[in-house]
Chain A
């Protein structure tokens, strides 16, 4: 199909360049209610996505227009010709300043081999199911429902400059709801695990953790009206917190003026009381669904350090935005590594704190730095006793708080993120719901 598309593209002299992305997805899916299979599905789909580029000049300015379309495997030559003609026509209306397309590289580093490659899908669906339900052993709680998706994804990217790269990987997504019932209402919580490799311990432990969190929520009291507190973020919220630094250090954000960060900036201010942030992007992180040899443009990837001791060292930039800003491209890399901090978790917990375990949805506005979330479960330590609490919310702004943040020495990993297990922030606004 790719050769056929290329042949038809060759007849379009108005097209300056193209990129074809071929994706094959082979998938098995299982849907459980309690411990019973409610539905099973399997699919094998084949996608061709074509982007065409049209260079043109207007009022002395050089532009590169682009537009993309899906070329379906069943389309005949006439249909493909028609799709290309319409896409090229649309591209002429897109006035992006000129940028070059990715050029072929001499070599690319291969992604790590997943255990999922060693056995069949039915074998792994069975193993994943066993691991997920291994700790579903309690009388008062357990898994309410669960969905398991295992995909094998093969990707090939071809462009008009001679790029022709292929990669394959696995994407496992497990979504489950855990419940617990004490005397009052039954409590439930949601969890999603994404990974690219089989990790029995991760699956089993995470279910156990979520059941424990449900049990804690079932006996939790109302969050006190603290107004402000030292808040310790844990689990998914830690990863979400650093999405701000990831977004702000991206060249596209800088070019689009949603980030004012400049290379050399002391991001946490000149007087930092706590830990300074060091952030690296690693395209070859183990067991991450974002690990890949090349980005969506076919640019070969390698690890790159963006922030060191709180100072922005360089931007993350794909070929287009690197050209716009006049910096060296890194390609788009989705895996984030944050260095550990100076304190152990035990040291972080020496003073009064509110430690969040589960939010309805922890939200970070990657443009303003505002963050917030409704507390589904937290632990409050008033200096003497520790109490599980629920309800209310935490809000704050990263720019106003990161001059004094503390990162735990202990680490955690969640798919495409590896970093400190906990972050302590001072003077975070807490809207509690307790009446006293």
Chain B
């Protein structure tokens, strides 16, 4: 209730695990759903094997990659769930696919064919999507920021797989001055940017991964399925509004 509006601008921020997960989900989760490759809708297809993120970042998706709400033995088409490394040390490595997109692209299906219910068609969808842990302590990350915010409380997000825009809305930003939380709050927090710039700006990654999420990931504005997202605390440079 005491929060103020954010002064628009670029800031150094620490993203809490739920916001790290939101970035993973919107930035390179939807963008590597390989039915998007089939349609020519994913810029990621041109960047396979290329650097898309800071070299201290690794990102996974998979029913087998974590024990959470989208863990299963096999997907809605019968393909065994897997653990797909999407980004390895900053290099874009793999996409995630349902049967049809894998067939069309000549790749192995990754067990990501999911449908909203028996009434709907299967699409290539995310499962448990997260950034892997790093080596920095949260205390060191906090101490490294002269002026910025700690962003937390996932509200919503939207992907832009073709043009690599990103929109993440968080409930809260905690002001950081000279490495300490001041107790001042901003809300809501609208974080926007160009995906590679945002991911390249990740300079510190904490040691512990946390996942959260109970569902409601849509393909556009429909086909809602259960997914989880997460990661460690990350330090990055973002534009807030």
Contacts and interface: CB of A to CB of B under 8 A. Distances in A.
User: Do A and B make up one complex?
Assistant: yes
Interface of A: 25, 29, 31, 33, 39, 41, 43, 45, 144-145, 173, 175, 177, 179, 185-188, 190, 192, 225, 227, 360-361, 363, 365, 368, 370, 372-374, 376, 391-395, 397, 429-433
B39 A145 contact: yes
A393 B220 CA distance: 20
A227 B8 contact: yes
A433 B165 contact: no
A374 B156 contact: no
Contact of B41 (A145, A361, A395, A430): A145
A177 B8 CA distance: 31
B119 A431 contact: no
B167 interface: yes
Contacts of B221: 175, 192
Interface string B161-199: 011011101000000000000000001101010000000
A429 B5 contact: yes
13 contacts: A25-B119, A41-B121, A185-B43, A361-B167, A368-B188, A372-B169, A372-B190, A374-B190, A374-B192, A393-B192, A431-B8, A431-B241, A432-B8
B5 A393 contact: no
Nearest to A374: B167
A370 B192 contact: no
B121 A393 contact: no
B8 A360 contact: no
Contacts of B41: 144-145, 177, 188
Contacts of A175: 220-222
Given A31-B121, A372-B169, A429-B241, A395 B162 contact: no
A186 B162 CA distance: 8
A376 B38 CA distance: 24
B34 to A, nearest CB: 13
A392 B41 CA distance: 22
Nearest 10 A/B pairs, CB to CB: A431-B241, A431-B8, A361-B158, A374-B167, A393-B241, A360-B167, A188-B162, A360-B158, A374-B192, A372-B190
A360 B121 contact: no
Contacts of B9: 431
B40 interface: yes
B169 A363 contact: yes
A391 B165 contact: yes
Contacts, number: 99
B239 A433 contact: yes
B2 to A, nearest CB: 13
Given A431-B239, A431-B241, A432-B8, A360 B119 contact: no
Contact of A431 (B38, B155, B240): B240
Contacts of A361: 156-158, 167
Interface in B196-241: 220-222, 239-241
Interface of B: 5-6, 8-9, 38-41, 43, 119, 121, 155-158, 160, 162-163, 165-167, 169, 187-188, 190, 192, 220-222, 239-241
Contacts of B165: 360, 374, 376, 391
Given A393-B241, A394-B241, A429-B5, A29 B121 contact: yes
A316 B192 CA distance: 36
A175 B38 CA distance: 17
Contacts of A368: 188
Q: Interface majority SS on A: helix, strand, loop or mixed?
A: strand
Contacts of B188: 365, 368, 370, 372, 395
Contacts of A190: 220
Contact of B8 (A41, A186, A363, A430): A430
A372 B156 CA distance: 11
Query: Which residue, of B156, B221, B240, B241, has the highest number of chain A Cβ atoms within 10 A?
Result: B241
A373 B192 CA distance: 9
B93 to A, nearest CB: 23
B190 A395 contact: yes
B162 A392 contact: no
Nearest to A190: B220
Contacts of B163: 185, 187-188
A432 B239 CA distance: 9
Given A29-B121, A227-B8, A374-B166, 11 more contacts: A39-B121, A175-B221, A177-B39, A185-B163, A376-B160, A392-B241, A393-B167, A395-B190, A429-B5, A430-B8, A431-B239
Given A175-B222, A185-B163, A392 B192 contact: yes
A374 B39 contact: no
A376 B165 CA distance: 9
B119 A45 contact: yes
B5 A395 contact: yes
A394 B6 CA distance: 11
A39 B166 CA distance: 30
B10 to A, nearest CB: 9
Nearest to B157: A361
A212 B39 CA distance: 21
A31 B38 CA distance: 13
A403 to B, nearest CB: 17
Nearest to B168: A374
B220 to A, nearest CB: 6
A76 B124 CA distance: 36
B192 A391 contact: yes
Given A372-B190, A393-B192, A431-B240, A33 B8 contact: no
B118 to A, nearest CB: 8
B162 A33 contact: no
A144 B220 CA distance: 14
A173 B190 CA distance: 30
